[in-house]
Chain A
Amino acid sequence: MKADMAQEAENKDTDQYHYSKNLDNAVQYLSFALGKEEYGVDILRVQEIRSWEPVSRIPNVPCYEKGVVNLRGSIVPILDLRERFNLSKAEYTPLTVVVVLQTGDNNKTRIMGVVVDSVSDVISVDKTEIQSAPDFGAKVSNEFINGLVSVNERMVMLLDVDKLLKLEELDQDEN
């Protein structure tokens, strides 16, 4: 059942319509939804897409760090992006998706999962079309946002995976 789900999710992003702008400076992003907002992560950072499964809670950590799961023998932490971005909480359903991302700091790669509502698309983005995120002031944190791009009249926020999963920041949160 679980495997089917993951397979389905993978099919979903390969079968769907791809932008055929074959430009040299095109970058592919995996887009996913959080509520009504759409975000994108560099597709090369995506290791796999899984369905949500119960995690083992870690005591005394920020609430958006949901816990850890066993991913083929390694212990992988799961972060809830809704809670990370202070969006309203959503119930986890069998359709809730975990995107497993790789992040590399100092030649050591870490794997982490982020909980999102659903993955939507693989989009090709021309680097020149990426606009920098406007400064929203102190109210909204845009520290994780690399830039904005509009695809089919929708705005997609491109996330900086390294910043998103940076552990120093997690450690600071602890203090």
Chain B
Amino acid sequence: MSIDMSQFHQVFFEECFEGLEAMESGLLTLDMGDIDSEIINTIFRGAHSIKGGSGTFGFTVVAEYTHIMETLLDEMRDGRRKVTQPAVDVLLGSVDCLREMLTAIQNEQEVNNASVAKHKAALETVLNGGSITLETVQPVDHEVASKEVVTATVEQEELVELEQQGWKIAFCPYLDLLKTGNDPVRLFRELNELGQLTTIVNIQDVPGFYELDPEECNISWDLKVIGDISGDEIKEIFNWVEGDCEMEIQPLAAKTVKAPPAAVKEIDPEPVITTSNNPAPKPVEVKPKVVAEAKKTDSQDTDNEAAKTTAKASSIRVDTDKIDTLINMVGEVVITQSMLGLVGENFTMDKVGQLKRGLAQLERHTRDLQQSVMNIRMLPISFVFSRFPRLVHDISSKLDKKIVLKLVGENTEVDKAVVELINDPLVHLIRNSLDHGIEMPADRVAAGKPETGTIELKAYHRGGHIVIEIIDDGRGLDKNKLLAKAIEKGLVEENNLLTEKQIFELIFMPGFSTAEQLTDISGRGVGMDVVRRNIQSLGGNIEIISELGKGTTIAIHLPLTLAILDGQSVAVGDETYIVPLVSIIESINITERMLNKVAGKGETFRLRNEYLPVIRMRSIFNVHSGNPTKSKEGVLVVVEGQGELCCLLVDELLGQQQVVIKSLEANYRRVEGVSGATILGDGSVALILDVPGLVRFSIR
């Protein structure tokens, strides 16, 4: 009977964090004026399943804490308590506190008791503050509600009376208790461990032998536990069966036993099947059962809704559809393979056509297979987006600004690795928009804009890329101010003429900040260059469009996946390199004469009235192999890196192909100008060029 519970811990924590996220987003969408009971239900379900789970796994701290939250939420759900902003804030705080607790437990650290106690106190204050309404509303409410009021008050009592010398428990399971996999004997055994247990079994509900369904539980029990046990310990044991039974827990002192006088028998560990001729009807049980079922479907709903995992989760949930597609594909591949095998068995030249067809089919299937495998790693961007409403809520109230966050295209799918790595840069950019972008309400009104600022977070696919845009309608970037600042900091020469784009690019320079005054939210000027570097390390780029007084749009382009890349293979001497196709603008055949030297050192190429710097791959990578005379003619690959165009001079273009990115760093180290490696069709290794890195490297 002893199961190693720790194997379920990971799942439990994941579900808890999902639940917390659902609660958080629910709390944030609560509209003070018009309460949507469905939202409160969602939040309640979150709290409820965390409580149940943590009880089961013996995390009493969490269970106790959630219990208080649940009580509060329960009252809100029944309309016995008004949903107020302070209450919501306290609940949000509690969500944070729970998250801290769970993280601590997950990492096997000590739970920060001080902070828990603080949040608990806050919760209890809210709870007690509104307790007057409790009795007044009670009679008006319908049956189910009033029943819950009773249990709620009972539970509250228990919280107060923690220490008792013993407990009396009336335990009346519903008929389907056994079908849910619960075994009352286990409960009794656990109770027995707490203290001395006496059981009295009521079998008057057991039907006659012929009507008896062995899967139904027709027995109820009166239990008595003697010992110094807290009510919570008892409740923890019954956590599993909560919702599957009617239960009353009372301290022994209070002598109000509701148990009906009945056939009394010391219990045998197995539920005894007695051939009692007493087929008593059980009208009472019908209604609660419905409630129980309703509750159960609710919890199933939460499971479906909780398709949101924390970004750090090491496991992902995959749609069954995706797996089915994958299995189909594998089937196709197997069929093609056996077909090819058949062709190969007695091969004659007249089968060449068949062979070619088979190979073409295999190629197509392999590509599809690859695509469906990649699809499994794809997660909706909402994994990242879902945490921003909270961020905006917290920061805007801290800054006294009125800001709404609009999320668009949350279901856009992107590789899991991208999802994990894009979070920090996005947090930074959104904080920037909140802090610097959106003006104070008064300033906004003065500027003729609506008092409430809008930040739009938008994600969409565009040609093998995902684009994430952060659009605010704030004050926009002031070109002149930026330029003045850059000159003052010595980042730009005074008489330099810069394009608008180049000026905006300045904010990505290390050590650049336009905020006149540092806040703890942003403005230290360490961020934007790091943001850009992070995004570039993901193989993406970032650009800014801004209009003074109207707002700023920051667009991030990211590859959909980090595992596969469309590449152009180029030859440099005898070596092959891969240039990411996304960074290539165009390729031009040139001869040596078409290059111009600048100051005897740097070379440029004139492309449609623009002089572009040329990087000779041969010299930057010290390639000595191959026929050097060939470099008199070559191919210029015009690429974009760091937001600027430049040309790579290579010997030849070889071909375009999808390449699987392999890390160089796994066994080796980072190499300048190279972002990774891949294995070519002949088994040799080719390096993938890191275009922005190459540009940086060539400048040095």
Report A's interface with B, CB cutoff 8 A: 54-61, 67-70, 73-77, 110-112, 167, 170-171
Task: Report the minimal beta-carbon distance from B562 to chain A, rounded to whole angstroms.
Answer: 16
Residue B19 lies at the interface, judged by CB distance under 8 Å to chain A: no
Tell me whether A59 and B622 are in contact (CB under 8 A). yes
* Inter-chain contact A167/B669, CB cutoff 8 Å: yes
In the bound complex, residues from chain B placing their C-beta under 8 Å from that of A55 are 685
Instruction: For the complex, give the distance between the alpha carbons of A168 and B623 in Å.
Output: 26
A-binding segment of B40-48, B465-473, B588-596, B672-680: B672-680
Q: Which residues of A contact B629 (CB under 8 A)?
A: none
A147 to B487, CA, bound (A): 60
Within 376-418 of B, Cβ neighbours of A (below 8 Å) are at: none
16 A-B pairs in the complex with CB atoms less than 8 angstroms apart: A56-B687, A58-B687, A60-B622, A60-B673, A68-B668, A68-B685, A70-B683, A70-B685, A75-B664, A75-B677, A75-B679, A76-B667, A76-B668, A77-B668, A110-B666, A171-B669
Q: Residues of B contacting A54 with CB < 8 Å?
A: 684
Shortest distance from the beta carbon of B198 to any chain A beta carbon, whole Å: 54
Whether B677 pairs with A68 at a CB distance below 8 angstroms is yes
Interface centre among B621, B669, B672, B677 (most CB of A within 10 A): B669
Contact residues, B179-233 vs A (CB, 8 A) = none
Q: Which residues on A sit within 8 Å (CB–CB) of B687?
A: 56, 58-59
**CA separation between A143 and B526, bound complex, in Å?**
40
Interface residues of B in 610-635 (CB under 8 A from A): 620-623
- Cβ contact of B621, chosen from A60, A67, A69, A75, cutoff 8 A: A60
**Nearest A-chain residue to B625, judged by Cβ:** A57
Q: Are B620 and A111 in contact (CB under 8 A)?
A: no
Would you call B667 and A60 a contact (CB within 8 A)?
A: no
Q: Which of B17-51 contact A (CB under 8 A)?
A: none
Among B575, B622, B679, point to the contact of A73 (Cβ < 8 A): B679
Most buried by A among B664, B685, B686, B687: B685
In the complex, chain A residues whose CB is within 8 Å of the CB of B686: 56
> Which residue of chain B has its CB nearest to the CB of A109?
B667
- Distance in angstroms between the alpha carbons of A67 and B623 in the assembled complex: 13
B428 on interface, CB distance cutoff 8 Å:
no
- CA–CA, A67 and B667, complex, Å: 12
Assembled-state Cα–Cα distance A15/B183 (Å): 62
Binding site for A on B (CB under 8 A): 575, 620-623, 662-664, 666-669, 671-674, 677, 679, 683-687
Which among B668, B669, B671, B674 has the greatest number of chain A C-beta atoms within 10 A?
B668
Complex Cα–Cα for A68 and B662 (A): 12
Q: Which residue of B lies closest to A103 (CB)?
A: B667
Question: What's the minimum C-beta distance from A87 to chain B, rounded to whole angstroms?
Answer: 23
Give the Cβ gap from B485 to chain A, nearest Cβ, in Å: 32
Closest to B623 in A: A59
Q: A59 and B673 in contact (CB under 8 A), knowing A70-B684, A73-B679, A74-B662? A: yes
B569 vs chain A, min Cβ distance (A)? 13
- Shortest beta-carbon contacts, A-B, top 7: A59-B621, A56-B685, A77-B668, A110-B667, A70-B679, A75-B677, A75-B662
A75 touching B622 by the CB < 8 A rule? no
- Are B666 and A75 in contact, CB atoms less than 8 angstroms apart? yes
Question: What are the residues of chain B within 8 A of A110 when measuring CB–CB?
Answer: 666-668
Beyond contacts A68-B677, A77-B667: 10 other A-B pairs, Cβ-Cβ < 8 A, are A56-B575, A59-B671, A59-B673, A59-B674, A59-B687, A68-B664, A70-B684, A75-B662, A75-B685, A112-B668
Contacts between chains A and B (CB distance < 8 A), count: 65
Q: Are A170 and B673 in contact (CB under 8 A)?
A: no
Measured in the bound complex, the distance between the Cα atoms of B665 and A110 in whole Å is: 9
CB nearest neighbor in A for B682? A70
Give the secondary structure class of B's interface.
Answer: loop
**Which residues of B are found within 8 Å of A167, using beta-carbon distances?**
668-669
In the complex, how many angstroms separate the beta carbon of A100 from the nearest chain B beta carbon? 10
Which B residue's beta carbon lies closest to that of A65?
B668
- How far does the Cβ of B371 sit from chain A's closest Cβ, in whole Å? 20
Residues in chain B near residue A77, CB distance under 8 A: 667-668
Q: Are A60 and B669 in contact (CB under 8 A)?
A: no
Q: How far is the CB of A8 from chain B (nearest CB, A)?
A: 21
What chain A residues lie within 8 Å of B685 (beta carbons)? 55-56, 67-70, 75
Quote the shortest CB–CB distance from B691 to chain A (angstroms): 15
Q: Are the CB atoms of B575 and A170 closer together than 8 Å? A: no
Chain B residues near A68 (CB-CB < 8 A): 664, 668, 677, 685
- Which residues in A have their C-beta under 8 angstroms from that of B663? 75
Closest to A54 in B: B684
* Alpha-carbon distance A61/B669, docked complex (angstroms): 11
- B667 contacts A170, C-beta separation under 8 Å: no
Q: How far is the CA of A75 from the CA of B669 in the complex (A)?
A: 11
B10 to chain A, nearest CB (A): 20
Residues of A within 8 A of B620 (CB): 59
Interfacial chain B residues near A67, Cβ < 8 Å: 685
Choose one: A58, A69, A74, A76; the contact of B671 (CB below 8 Å).
A58
Nearest CB in chain B: distance from A140 CB, A: 26
On chain A, the residues within 8 Å of B622 by CB distance are 59-60
Chain A: minimal CB distance from B664 (Å): 6
CB closest chain-A residue, reference B680? A70
Known contacts A56-B687, A68-B685, A70-B679; A75 and B671 CB within 8 A of each other: no
A66: min CB distance to chain B, Å? 12
Residue in chain A with minimal CB distance to B664:
A75
Instruction: Provide the residues of chain B in CB contact with A74, threshold 8 Å.
Output: 662, 666-667
A7 to B469, CA, bound (A): 56
Q: State in angstroms the CA–CA spacing of A67 and B679 once bound together.
A: 14
Please indicate the chain A residues that have their CB under 8 angstroms from the CB of B667 in the complex: 74-77, 110-112
Closest chain A residue, CB of each to CB of B617 = A59
Shortest CB distance B605–A (Å): 22
Q: Chain A residues with Cβ under 8 A from B679's Cβ?
A: 70, 73, 75
**Residue numbers in B under 8 Å from A111 (CB-CB):** 667
Q: B575's closest neighbor in chain A, by CB?
A: A57
Whether the Cβ atoms of A56 and B684 lie closer than 8 Å is yes
Give Cα A112 to B667, complex, Å: 7
* Alpha-carbon gap, A110 to B666, bound state (A): 7
Residues of B within 8 A of A70 (CB): 679, 683-685
Task: Say how far A145's CB is from chain B's closest CB, in angstroms.
Answer: 24
Q: Nearest residue in A to B662 (C-beta to C-beta)?
A: A75
Task: Give the complex CA separation of A171 and B670 in angstroms.
Answer: 9
- Min C-beta distance of A15 to chain B, whole Å: 30
Please, how many angstroms separate the alpha-carbon atoms of A56 and B678 in the complex? 11
Q: Which chain B residues lie closer than 8 Å to A76 at the CB level?
A: 667-668
Whole-angstrom distance between the alpha carbons of A154 and B37 in the complex? 86
Interface centre among A61, A70, A170 (most CB of B within 10 A): A70
Q: Which residue of A lies closest to B669 (CB)?
A: A167
Give chain B nearest CB distance to A55 CB in angstroms.
8
- Give complex CA distance A59, B622 in Å: 7
Q: A59-B620, A69-B685, A70-B683 are in contact. Are A170 and B666 (CB under 8 A)?
A: no
- Docked CA distance A59–B688 (Å): 12
The CA of A56 and the CA of B662, in the complex, are separated in Å by 14
A112 to B669, alpha carbons, bound, how many Å?
Answer: 11
Residues from chain A with a CB closer than 8 A to the CB of B677 are 56, 68, 75
Residues of chain A within 8 A (CB-CB) of B674 are 58-59
Question: B671 and A60: CB pair below 8 A?
Answer: yes
Q: Are B669 and A170 in contact (CB under 8 A)?
A: yes
Q: Which of B575, B668, B683 meets A75, CB within 8 Å?
A: B668
Query: In the complex, what distance in Å separates the CA atom of A57 from the CA atom of B668?
Result: 13
Nearest Cβ distance between residue B619 and chain A, in whole angstroms? 10
| Closest CB in chain B relative to A105 CB, distance in Å | 12
Bound CA span A110–B673, Å: 22
CB-CB under 8 A for A60 and B666, given A68-B685, A69-B685, A70-B679: no
**Chain B residue with the shortest CB-CB distance to A56:** B685
CB of A142, distance to nearest CB on chain B (Å): 24
| B672 proximity list for chain A (CB < 8 A) | 60
